[in-house]
Chain A
Amino acid sequence: MSGPPQRPVADATVRLRSLVVPARIELRDVSKTFGPLDALAPVTFDVADGETVTLLGPSGCGKTTLLRLIAGLETPTTGAIAVNGMTPSEARRHKQIGFIPQSPALLPWRTVEANARLLLDINRSASPTSPSASVTELLDEVGLSDFHHAYPHELSGGMQQRVGLVRAFALDAPILLMDEPFAALDEMTRTDMRHLLGKLAEPLGTTVVFVTHSIPEATFLSDRVAVMSARPGRVTEDITIELAHPRLPDLEDTDDFFHVTTRLRAALSAGMDR
């Protein structure tokens, strides 16, 4: 991808989209308690079609809980969630959601290619006519062309997480939910991974909800960042990231990027003090 930044056009598109495109994900006063523990205070926000929204907050603030609620892996204590107009469980059943957990969760007995194909195989057994995405091409695109037949233990942490990304993208689900997928990686690999994720996700227009506590990750990948306070987590600020698309690695060396990270850091600190 190359060419001049298209910021005005991109910004206008996002604004226009928010006016005319119905929200993919709607949360209304969603809260969650685990026994006596208030994990999440009532949260209300929307994610528009094709938007990448990051949940940014300190450890234990309920980001993952919120993501799991959207995925239908937990049930809210109060409030309602709609995913494409359905309940999260229905959306899951209709194969609307791709989920990327914190660990790559590769099955050690399957090769890289078989792991990347896992969710696709499951979907196909449920609906044999569902289309087959090109796992091979995706693996090549993420730089794993020489590792199709390798086993997960033969890969580095970053390579394993790439397989996890391919596995999720191969599903071709309209919504991707990502739970700190790069948390266990070293800083260099982590940087590479966010660039790779941007490269994969942007052209597809997938709706992404991304959980992280990394400010550069949130800045680089997001259209909007929902900053969360410490437990019980609530959204303290909803910040639109005014950076042009497509986002390329060079963006991280610009003043604009630096200003956004500073703004997010301040919002995060303010949220923790509240």
Chain B
Amino acid sequence: MKPSVRRVVAPVVGIVAFLILWEAAVEVFDIRRFILLPPSSIIDTLSESPGFYWDNALITIRHVVVGMSMALTLAIVVGSFMAASRFVEEATQPVLVLVLVTPWVAYITSVVLWLGKGDPSIYFMVAFTSFPVFTFGVVGGMKSADPAARELLRSVDARPWEVLWRLRLPSALPSIFTTARFAIGLGLAAAYFSEGSALTSDGLGAIGRRAASFNEAEVLWTTIVCAALLGIAGLTFVSVLERILLKWHVSQRS
């Protein structure tokens, strides 16, 4: 099989096999509907009102995109200072680790009380969870900039913003893309949980939370699957963008 064909066929075969096993496991082990629905039921629910799920998925996408954009922007600013100064790096690192390891779900109630219900709390939570990951990626990438190139720019007295723009930021792109893959999972989870907790009525998380309260297993599982599909779409988008922007990088060359 040609590599180009294999790259498309193999994942499809894997996913179809997984769905068949899932369907069979629910049937054979007689699993209760609220614990796990067969994929056929989820597909039925989704096909009954695709517009409803699509509209809510768009809201979740907005929450993830805005929150992660805020996190990435802040990570580039903070990361630039950390990469430029050993002192700033050593002072900031413990705080980032603290944010990274603390269970963020515990903060949601306080954040809603602070920022109010709705979008601001959700944006904050998405940004809060993905910020440390992005920052570590930015710092690692910026510090990996070729020392000879750094010296070269120093030799013409390049200004700090020029070193940042022409050398450090492009050098950080590969690790930013790597961390974006982790950040998407974290951001999506944060958006889903926050939508369910931020007293909002829209978004996959809000519908899922409501469905859980009213024992609507089909709706709950459909939102879970939609969120998973969003994650796959997000990762695919990152991979495509990486392929376009990093065509010069060794990871993108065969």
Max chain B CB contacts within 10 Å: which of A98, A101, A106? Answer: A101
Say yes or no: B152 contacts A119, CB within 8 Å: yes
Which residues of B (155-183) have their CB < 8 Å from a CB of A? 155-159, 162, 166-167, 170, 173
Per the bound structure, the CA–CA distance linking A62 and B16 in Å amounts to 65
- Which segment, of A120-128, A213-221, A237-245, faces chain B? A120-128
CB neighbours (8 Å) of A66 from chain B are none
B243 at the A interface (CB under 8 A): no
B244 to chain A, nearest CB (A): 12
Say yes or no: A109 contacts B170, CB within 8 Å: yes
A93 at the B interface (CB under 8 A): yes
Say yes or no: A97 contacts B167, CB within 8 Å: no
- Which segment, of B1-9, B98-106, B128-136, B143-151, faces chain A? B143-151
A84 to chain B, nearest CB (A): 15
A155 at the B interface (CB under 8 A): no
A136 at the B interface (CB under 8 A): no
A183 at the B interface (CB under 8 A): no
B253 at the A interface (CB under 8 A): yes
B211 at the A interface (CB under 8 A): no
A92 at the B interface (CB under 8 A): yes
Max chain A CB contacts within 10 Å: which of B152, B167, B173? Answer: B152
B249 at the A interface (CB under 8 A): yes
Task: Count residues on chain B whose CB falls below 8 Å from chain A CBs.
Answer: 22
Residue of chain A at shortest CB distance from B153: A122
A147 to chain B, nearest CB (A): 15
Per the bound structure, the CA–CA distance linking A83 and B155 in Å amounts to 14
Per the bound structure, the CA–CA distance linking A171 and B246 in Å amounts to 28
Q: A151-171 CB contact bits vs B (8 Å, 1 = yes)?
A: 111000000000000000001
CB neighbours (8 Å) of B151 from chain A are 73, 99, 101, 105
Per the bound structure, the CA–CA distance linking A101 and B156 in Å amounts to 13
A44 at the B interface (CB under 8 A): no
Say yes or no: B159 contacts A126, CB within 8 Å: yes
Residue of chain B at shortest CB distance from A151: B248
CB neighbours (8 Å) of B173 from chain A are 109
B174 to chain A, nearest CB (A): 10
Say yes or no: B156 contacts A122, CB within 8 Å: yes
CB neighbours (8 Å) of A101 from chain B are 148, 151-152
A77 at the B interface (CB under 8 A): no
A206 at the B interface (CB under 8 A): no
Selected from A107, A109, A153, A171, the residue in CB contact (under 8 A) with B156 is A171
A95 at the B interface (CB under 8 A): yes
B33 at the A interface (CB under 8 A): no
CB neighbours (8 Å) of B157 from chain A are 92-93, 95, 126
Known: A108-B248, A109-B170, A118-B166. A102 touches B159 (CB 8 A): no
Per the bound structure, the CA–CA distance linking A230 and B210 in Å amounts to 78
Say yes or no: A73 contacts B162, CB within 8 Å: no
CB neighbours (8 Å) of B148 from chain A are 101-103, 105
Residue of chain B at shortest CB distance from A119: B156
Per the bound structure, the CA–CA distance linking A177 and B155 in Å amounts to 10
Per the bound structure, the CA–CA distance linking A103 and B148 in Å amounts to 7
A135 at the B interface (CB under 8 A): no
Residue of chain B at shortest CB distance from A122: B158
Per the bound structure, the CA–CA distance linking A93 and B158 in Å amounts to 9
CB neighbours (8 Å) of B167 from chain A are 107
Known: A73-B155, A99-B152. A122 touches B166 (CB 8 A): yes
Which residues of A (66-111) have their CB < 8 Å from a CB of B? 71, 73, 92-93, 95, 97-99, 101-103, 105-109
